[in-house]
Amino acid sequence: MTDIIKRSARAILLDGEELVLIKRTRPGRDPYWVTVGGGVEDDDVSVEDALRREVFEELGGTVGRAELVHLVTDRLEGGLGVQHVFAARLESMDLTARTGTEFSKPERGSYAVVRIPFTAEAIRSIELMPPALADFAAENTEAIRSVLDTPIRKD
């Protein structure tokens, strides 16, 4: 059995009909885009709690309902990395409230919040990382919208 050595939570984060992303610009590398998210920390109660914390750290934001829709796995030295990918809708955002430590390290480059249309064409027009997540998002825009727009039954 392979040990999971790194877990992270990421959000296919919708604001209306737009996908909210972080455009990364790093010295010596072409720009690329990532979904909001990051590593699960020891004091996170759950992976979903880690997602909510990351949305606040990176956007000063909050999300409502978050649904796990995909897993991306990577072989890492010593084990397996698992990215838990949630679909969620942005409820609020205040970039002045960002708290992530990465924003105080200029050597890490810039983290610009961008929005693109949530369409397969728009997703495929950028270098969204990792490629497995980009492919999943582009191929499943309708399903992701449906998951978020379907009311939860309360019996």
CATH of the domain at 119: 3.90.79.10
Smallest CA-to-CA distance from 29 within 125, 108, 102 is with: 108
- Does 61 fall in a domain? yes
pLDDT at res. 99: 86
With a cut of 80, say whether residue 39 has pLDDT above it: yes
Range of the domain at 62: 4-149
pLDDT at res. 154: 75
For residue 77, the tally of other CB atoms under 10 A from its CB is 5
| Distance separating alpha carbons of residues 128 and 118, to the nearest angstrom | 13
Q: Which DSSP helix (H) or strand (E) runs through 142?
A: helix 141-149
Binned at pLDDT 50, 70 and 90, residue 107 comes out as confident
Domain count, the chain: 1
Mean pLDDT, all residues of the chain:
92
Find out whether 45 and 51 touch, Cβ atoms under 8 Å.
Answer: no
- Does 74 fall in a domain? yes
Pairing of strands 62-76, 128-129: unpaired
| Distance separating alpha carbons of residues 34 and 133, to the nearest angstrom | 9
pLDDT digits (tens, 9 = 90+) for 47-88: 999 999 999 999 999 999 999 999 999 888 888 999 999 999
For residue 75, the tally of other CB atoms under 10 A from its CB is 9
Binned at pLDDT 50, 70 and 90, residue 120 comes out as very high
- Does 154 fall in a domain? no
pLDDT at res. 14: 98
Binned at pLDDT 50, 70 and 90, residue 33 comes out as very high
